[in-house]
Structure 1
Amino acid sequence: METLDRLIWVVFPYLCMAIFVFGHIYRYRVDKFHWTAKSSEFIEKKQLMIGSLMFHLGIIPVIFGHIGGLAIPIAWMNAIGVNDHLYHIGAIYIGGIFGFMTLIGMIILTFRRFSLSSVRKLSSFSDLAVNSLLLFIVFVGMYATLVTNVVQPDFDYRMTISVWFRDLFLFRANPAIMADVPWSFKIHVLTGFAIFAFWPFTRLVHVWSVPLNYVGRSYILYRRHKPTN
């Protein structure tokens, strides 16, 4: 059992992170001209617009919430005046709102990709797999936040998952810390690492191609051309 726990909570996360890093390097070197997401907007636009908007508006605060909860120790939070009560209000209520937006967005996007034959034909296996996995991850995360936290109010992931997560990056991960973590949180963590392993080989690489230079780019000037006689 100890060996299995070490494989799950030490070897697997490091393997996923290694694939994430070296997979991106490999993908860029051999397939950089397909480093983008194939657009299906010309096939169907309404569901894509609604689902994509809700997903992106929700996922950005959710990501920052995860970073805050996992990377910042409780003592640091208390030092800036965020006690446990305030933190859990933000995590459950504010996090729940943005998590719900993310979930609805993923439901719309996944339903669109699977239900519309024209979009499905344009989709690769990895597209369908990533949509399904992301939907599952978000659903389990919402379940853990809104159900597990209510059923097991004494559980505090910042005392277990967060400590284990930070120790991963200090190369002293202790699988024993995860022993008493509820299954919903365990599944959410493991599938979260799994999506990082799939990331370099899917359309998710388009995240790194966001044209941020457009923000500071000069406007394009259009001048009327007066025909000469």
Structure 2
Amino acid sequence: MKLTDQHIEQLYRFTRQHYVEHYDVQTELVDHLANDIEQIWEETPILTFEQARDKSFKKFGVFGFMDVVEEKQKQLGKKYRKVLWKYVKEWFKLPKIILTASIFLFFYYFIQIPMGVYIVGGSLFILAILDLLFVTKLKKEFNKRTKKNNKKWMFEDMIFNVASFGGIMVASNLPQVFNHIEKTPSNLGALLISLILTLTIIYSYITLIVIPKKAEELLEEQYPEYKFANS
């Protein structure tokens, strides 16, 4: 006995009812359930579709699909970090390393002069505002994409919702930052803080601008069916 298209649609609805919101995870679960239901029917053909479905679902245990969702999040989180690291490394190669060094030296110089706190503080405030603007823009774009395609993909969710608030966090802790510098002997504190601020800017730029611009390419690489499913 084979499942019909109507059965498949019911399985998609079933996964959504059990708090699986991403289409790619739904598809994996539907494929698994469909194969298992057909095997159950071979062994016990008198069962209805709902009975076979519920029997298959019980095999997922007390937490249902949640373990599968969490495992997928870990898998794609590792994939996202790999993509992030790829673009971070580019900032330590020519010609971008020149800009990286310039950002670092900017902070390192102004941190050590009396009026530098205002310049660094103003820079961090601007970074925080830019972060908020880009985060808002990305969230609107993500909502527009999901509304248009009527599908949410987990990796797409990560790309558009890994919003960097690095600048905001640093700016909010500015007094503690400079208090630490004053208590640190020699230039070690200035070096450390300059490095953290430089990496914060690079991280913000990559997560808020670079990776979202590569979204289509990354999603088609991750999901061969992505282009077809959203056409």
TM-score range, shorter chain: 0.3 to 0.5
Return the TM-score normalized by structure 1. Answer: 0.34
TM-score (norm 2): 0.34
Q: Which has the larger radius of gyration?
A: 2
Higher relative contact order (CA 8 A, sep 6+): 1
